[in-house]
Amino acid sequence: MDFPEGYKYTRDHEWVRMEGDTAVVGITAFAQSELGDLVFVDLPHEGKTVTAHGNLCVVESTKAASDVYSPLAGKVEAVNQALADDPGLINRAPYTDGWIAKLSGISESDVAGLMSAQEYKALLGK
């Protein structure tokens, strides 16, 4: 299983990649493998303010619907519109093309409090 270095992770299986002062957010390869084939993503609205650990969006798979939690507090600046037509991008490329949202107004200390790739691997027992 893939755990890109330089990304940060949560216990709820979301990842964060910082691009300057913008946080790109998605779900991990582990999360998408547990969910199965994704068939729908209820994307958040641009401009929405999210809280850390608050609901960011919902993903639906052939197995179930699951909440995706925001790993950080911030404002949704952009959403991955490609997921509306092809939610399977998350299954095929969870760390690249399958990103869900970009958040602004991020606190560096909040980012520092997330898990490293090594810590996330340990959480999963890998």
Token pair of 26 as six digits? 């998605």
77-109 pLDDT, tens digit each: 999 999 999 999 999 999 999 999 999 999 888
Q: Which residues contact 87 (CB under 8 A, 6 or more apart)?
A: 38, 39, 40, 41, 59, 60
Mean pLDDT throughout 19-41?
96
Structural element, H or E, at residue 27: strand 22-27
Distances in whole angstroms, Cα of residue 126 to Cα of each of 57, 78, 118: 27, 33, 9
Look at residue 35 and tell me whether its pLDDT is greater than 70.
yes
pLDDT at position 41 is: 97
Q: Where are the domains of the chain?
A: 8-113
Q: Are 35 and 59 in contact (CB under 8 A)?
A: yes
Task: Evaluate whether 89 touches 97 at the Cβ level (below 8 Å).
Answer: yes
Residue 84: per-residue pLDDT: 96
Q: Which residues pair with 27 in a beta bridge?
A: 14
Average pLDDT of the chain?
95
pLDDT higher than threshold 80 for residue 1: no
CATH number of 8-113: 2.40.50.100
Portion of the chain with pLDDT greater than 90, in percent: 90
